[in-house]
Structure 1
Amino acid sequence: MASDPAAIADELQFVVGALVRRQRAVSPAAAVTLSQVSILKRLDRDGPYTVADLARLDKITHQSITVSVTSLVERSLVRRVPDPHDQRRKLLVITADGQRLLTERREAGHDNLTDAIASRLSRTEQAHLSGALGLLRRLLD
Structure 2
Amino acid sequence: MTESAMTISASAALAARELRVLVSRLRRRFQEQSDSRELTPSQLSVLSRLSKGDTTASDIATAERVRPQAIAATLNILEERGLIERRPDPADRRRQVVSLSGEGREFFDGRRRAGEEWLTTSLQERYTEAERQVLLDALALLERLGQE
Q: TM-score scaled by structure 2?
A: 0.84
Tell whether 2:42 aligns with 1:28: no
Instruction: Identify which of 109, 120, 143 aligns with 1:103.
Output: 109
Aligned length: 138
2:145 maps to amino acid: L
Residue in structure 2 matched with residue 6 of structure 1 by the alignment = 13
Secondary structure of the 2:88 match is: strand
Residue in structure 2 matched with residue 38 of structure 1 by the alignment = 45
The question of whether the paired residues in 1 share the 8 Å contact of 2:48 and 2:108 is answered with yes
Instruction: Identify which of 23, 32, 42 aligns with 1:16.
Output: 23
Secondary structure of the 1:46 match is: coil
Where in structure 2 are there 5+ consecutive unaligned residues? 1-9
Q: Percent identity?
A: 34
The question of whether the paired residues in 1 share the 8 Å contact of 2:51 and 2:100 is answered with yes
Cα deviation digits, residues 76-99 of structure 1 (max 9, x gap): 111110111222322212111111
After TM superposition, which residue ranges in structure 1, 4 or more long, deviate above 4 angstroms? none
Cα deviation digits, residues 102-136 of structure 1 (max 9, x gap): 10111000000011111111222222112211111
1:1-141 pair list within 5 angstroms: 4-49=11-56, 51-141=57-147
Where in structure 1 are there 5+ consecutive unaligned residues? none
Q: TM-score scaled by structure 1?
A: 0.88
How big is the alpha-carbon RMSD for the aligned residues of Structure 1 and Structure 2? 1.6
Cα deviation digits, residues 29-58 of structure 1 (max 9, x gap): 242222112112212213231x22221221
The question of whether the paired residues in 1 share the 8 Å contact of 2:89 and 2:95 is answered with yes
